[in-house]
C-alpha cells in the first residue's frame, strides 16, 4: 500500500492503474470490516454498568457485612479497568482507520484524476 501511496500514476500503464484501483477497492473493503461493530461497544457499555453497580453495592453494603462485600468492589474495578483498556485500544484502532481512510481517499482521487486525464 505504501508503494501505491507514493507511486506516480502518470508513468504507469493502464493495466497497472486498473490493478491498483482494484487493490485499493480490496484494501478499503478490508479496512471497512475492521471497524468495531456496535455489538461489541454495547457489550463494553454493559460491562461498565456492571462494574459500577458492583462497586456501589460493595461500598454500600460494606458497613453491614464488615467489609466482606469489598470483594465486589475489586471485581467492579477489574471490570472498569478492563473496559477502559479495551476502549483505549478501540480508540487507537479508530484513529488508525481514520488515517487509513484519508490515505485511501487521496489515492482514489489521484487515480480518478489520472483516469480522467487518460480519458477512458
Question: Residue written as cell 490515505?
Answer: 103
Nearer to other proteins, 5 or 56 (CB): 56
Element (H, E) at 9: none
Which alpha helices (DSSP H) does 1-120 contain, by range?
2-6, 14-33, 38-60, 62-65, 70-118
Cβ 24 vs Cβ 107: under 8 Å? yes
Under the binding rule (CB under 8 A), the answer on residue 36 touching other proteins is yes
Give the separation between CA 93 and CA 98, rounded to whole angstroms.
8
Q: Between residue 39 and residue 98, which ones bind other proteins under the rule CB under 8 A? A: 41, 44-45, 48-49, 52, 55-56, 59-60, 62-63, 66-67, 70, 74, 76-78, 80-82, 85, 87, 90-91, 94, 97-98
- Which of 5, 10, 16, 25 is close enough to bind other proteins by CB under 8 A? 25
Tell me the C-alpha to C-alpha distance, in Å, between residue 31 and each of 18, 48, 114: 20, 28, 24
Q: Which residues bind other proteins (CB under 8 A)?
A: 18, 21-22, 24-25, 28-29, 31-32, 35-36, 38, 41, 44-45, 48-49, 52, 55-56, 59-60, 62-63, 66-67, 70, 74, 76-78, 80-82, 85, 87, 90-91, 94, 97-98, 101, 104-105, 108, 111-112, 115, 120
Amino acid at each position: 500500500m505504501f508503494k501505491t501511496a507514493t507511486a506516480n500514476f502518470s508513468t504507469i500503464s493502464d493495466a497497472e492503474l486498473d490493478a491498483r484501483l482494484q487493490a485499493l477497492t480490496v484494501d478499503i473493503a478490508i479496512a471497512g470490516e475492521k471497524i468495531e461493530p456496535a455489538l461489541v461497544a454495547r457489550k463494553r457499555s454493559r460491562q461498565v454498568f456492571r462494574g459500577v453497580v458492583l462497586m456501589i453495592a460493595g461500598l454500600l453494603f460494606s458497613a453491614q457485612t464488615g467489609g466482606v462485600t469489598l470483594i465486589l468492589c475489586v471485581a467492579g474495578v477489574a471490570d472498569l479497568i478492563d473496559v477502559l483498556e479495551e476502549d483505549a485500544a478501540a480508540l487507537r484502532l479508530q484513529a488508525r482507520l481514520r488515517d487509513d481512510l484519508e490515505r485511501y481517499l487521496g489515492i482514489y482521487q489521484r487515480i480518478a484524476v489520472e483516469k480522467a486525464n487518460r480519458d477512458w
